[in-house]
Amino acid sequence: MHLAVIMDGGGRYAESRKLPRINGYIYGTRAILDIIDACDEQKLSCVSFYVSSKENLSRGIAEKLAISSVYVDFIQNTLLPICVTRGYKLFFVGDYEQLTPELMATIAKANSATINNRGLTIAFVFAYNGMEEVTKAFNYVFEKKLINMSYTPATIAEVEQYMYSAALPPVDALIRFGGQRRLSGFLPFATTYAELFFSDKLFPEADKGDIYDVIKQYKKIKRKFGEIK
């Protein structure tokens, strides 16, 4: 089972407590650890976290540097040692050109250290825009067809293999924190048949119980994928 998490509300959490926005992201990493523990305990195969969209990074350099500094420290000093010990695999999705050199170096180190692990896959999605991902993948397929003088229509399978998220399995269940009821362009291909759950909690308030509730509800759903059974 692949659980996707939209981590909304970190900035609002900090502002409501008269703290700098960066504190909301720091507290959010604690919630990430809780969610990872719950996913491992429930024997999920993959959990993905929507950290930042392209639109988030357009808020300014201060926001970009805040996200980068928090996740460089979190991945290097907290998460990576846990992944090495427990056999988790770290995976990253997004437009790497939009990330700071420090975060890019941390991602490269984490990938290298966990690439052969076979436990829970933990994916972080940075600087991401779902429509852009699909468009870039389609244009790549289109360019290859022109070079090879192939005039056959592009297939879903051809487009998917060139997407940032190609290595991730389809999302089975998605939970968004922060009180909003939208996907904000998150993994449009992978979430096509995802069961959607929403929480009014701001993300730093998330805990294991939220994940256990989602998994419990998910298991009650009869998934037909458009068929009559």
User: Which residue numbers are catalytic?
Assistant: 8, 56
Alpha-carbon distance of 58 to 83, in angstroms, equals: 31
Q: How many helices (H) and strands (E) does the chain have?
A: 9, 6
- Given a contact cutoff of 8 angstroms between Cβ atoms, the answer to whether 122 and 153 are in contact is no
Query: Among 70, 53, 68, 54, which Cα is nearest to 104's?
Result: 68
Run of H or E residues at 148: none
Alpha-carbon distance of 141 to 119, in angstroms, equals: 32
Alpha-carbon distance of 111 to 94, in angstroms, equals: 14
- The residues, any chain, with a CB within 8 Å of residue 207's CB and separated by 6 or more, are 31, 34
